Structure 1
């Protein structure tokens, strides 16, 4: 299947499903009868919202359980602030963003800028996913110039395999071309109807200079992905369907 056909197939059921999950038909006002749990796992407060916030809004509005998982508290994300001060500010911002989206926040214990991949961290991610029992997980594409993003994606990928692939796994992009590299989507989600809600959630992250971040990075990407699938704004994902082997 070439790229044009793949996009056509991906968007063909977009009015009724988001990443294969049932949602209300456009304008119908109905909610899901088969409730699913979706975990969106990002390296920092603001990652889930900026890269998959529209998809999260659609799923939450349809009655599904959406969980915003943050690998770190964003400890290194505010110049001139200590780790403790920055973590407190960014945690508060993330909680506000979750309120806008309708998601439940869940914070893990890694440190912004110093995330690790080791046996203990592998087990930690497995424990979180085992406890939450999601139907779908969306996380960072592992080929990313930001260590926390790459580590987050690899930890989730390893847990998915070790746990026997019990959920559908998708990857999102974060500032493609600058951070995320070699990202070739398999699925697109039309977020045109909820883009204002998504941006409202993003603007909760005041400490991150979100106005400039949205204007210079995320809105252009939303429009570009929208052009790919013939809508105004979209988010794109890679669906991991090849199981691979464990060594």
Structure 2
């Protein structure tokens, strides 16, 4: 429906870890795709799979030496201490997004869509639109291709 290509990391739902194999597979994808920007889970998330994916992405960037701009996304009831740096107006695509989330049956997609709708209405009011997504910047990646930690090592 989106025209996007899906890549699996072969991790198990509820039992995922930032294993060297997982980080290497993600690094290979970064090297192949070379994205300008990426959206990742907030690292301080109470869902272990989400915090793992943020850690694996960070390690994959180090391994691949590909440093896209990284924006962290919010999970309504799982992200801890999340503070948005920017809001993106999704009013024109919100209904399609919620319909797609509803198809995510194995993760209670209808419930996720309902939660997202409420949160995104709230965020939308902050910027004067109907629906908006909230993102936090990762300052270390805001200058593509550079990472301060790599420069001082």
In structure 1, the partner of 2:135 is 237
Q: Secondary structure at the match of 2:93?
A: helix
Please give the alpha-carbon distance, in whole angstroms, between the structure 1 residues aligned to 2:67 and 2:111: 38
Deviation at 1:244, TM superposition (A): 4.4
Please give the alpha-carbon distance, in whole angstroms, between the structure 1 residues aligned to 2:71 and 2:137: 4
Q: Secondary structure at the match of 1:116?
A: coil
Aligned residues: CA RMSD: 1.9
2:64 pairs with 1:163: yes
2:108 pairs with 1:209: yes
Matches within 5 A, 1:1-247: 99=1, 101-175=2-76, 178-215=77-114, 217-242=115-140, 243-245=147-149
Deviation at 1:160, TM superposition (A): 2.3
Please give the alpha-carbon distance, in whole angstroms, between the structure 2 residues aligned to 1:169 and 1:110: 22
Cα 1:119–1:208 shift into 2, 3 Å: closer
Please give the alpha-carbon distance, in whole angstroms, between the structure 1 residues aligned to 2:87 and 2:60: 25
Count of residues in correspondence between the two structures: 145
Q: Secondary structure at the match of 2:92?
A: helix
TM-score by length of 1: 0.54
Cα 1:207–1:110 shift into 2, 3 Å: closer
- 1:21-75 Cα shifts (integer Å, max 9, x gaps): xxxxxxxxxxxxxxxxxxxxxxxxxxxxxxxxxxxxxxxxxxxxxxxxxxxxxxx
Cα contact 2:87–2:123 (8 A) shared by 1: yes
Deviation at 1:105, TM superposition (A): 1.7
| Higher-strand-fraction structure | 1
Cα 1:213–1:118 shift into 2, 3 Å: closer
TM-score by length of 2: 0.84
Deviation at 1:170, TM superposition (A): 1.1
Cα 1:194–1:147 shift into 2, 3 Å: same
Q: Secondary structure at the match of 1:171?
A: strand
Cα contact 2:42–2:54 (8 A) shared by 1: yes
